[in-house]
Homo-oligomer: A and B are copies of this chain.
């Protein structure tokens, strides 16, 4: 199968990390989404929404959306909880990640890494985005103060989804020292068998 990916992307890293845990071989195709690589006619024909990661299965089936890809590969493995309510709680944190976390923590990191993206209009929005990102980290830290992981009491795709951008939040000038429970959880995630860093393709 093929994984259309962009190495600095936390959304791409989620999929790389789960595939590494599961030992699933794939061809990785690098697409620079900041340079318009996901907006070409060829890419849009495959995924009209123009985003990586996108998986193409061996039978040609196209599956975009990082968290849907995580769900697909996690089914019937230890990375998706067995109990119905735990599966729903894992998804609850994955929707939280895409709505209340990624649009602030990932977006600020991307803008700060690519000064050409930081237009005056975006620069003016930075304080608001930073504040919303801090709120997401606070919600995570409160949960992790009493729970080792996000769902089912163990490491699941909810942790993979939230780890991807949280562990590099400092690259968006978020100070993780303020969140001790998150720091401890990052240590637990990194200690999982088969863990790979975001820099590994």
Contact = CB atoms under 8 A, between A and B. Distances in A.
Interface of A: 48-49, 51, 57, 61, 63-69, 71-72, 75, 84-85, 87-89, 91-92, 94-96, 98-100, 102-103, 121, 124-125, 138-139, 142-143
A25 to B, nearest CB: 19
Interface of A is mostly: helix
Contact of A84 (B49, B65, B75, B125): B75
A91 B95 CA distance: 10
Copies of this chain per assembly: 2
Given A67-B95, A68-B92, A91-B91, 8 more contacts: A48-B139, A48-B143, A67-B91, A68-B88, A68-B94, A95-B95, A98-B98, A99-B99
A89 B103 contact: no
A157 to B, nearest CB: 11
Nearest to A138: B48
B91 A68 contact: yes
Given A98-B98, A99-B99, A100-B49, A92 B64 contact: yes
Nearest to A75: B84
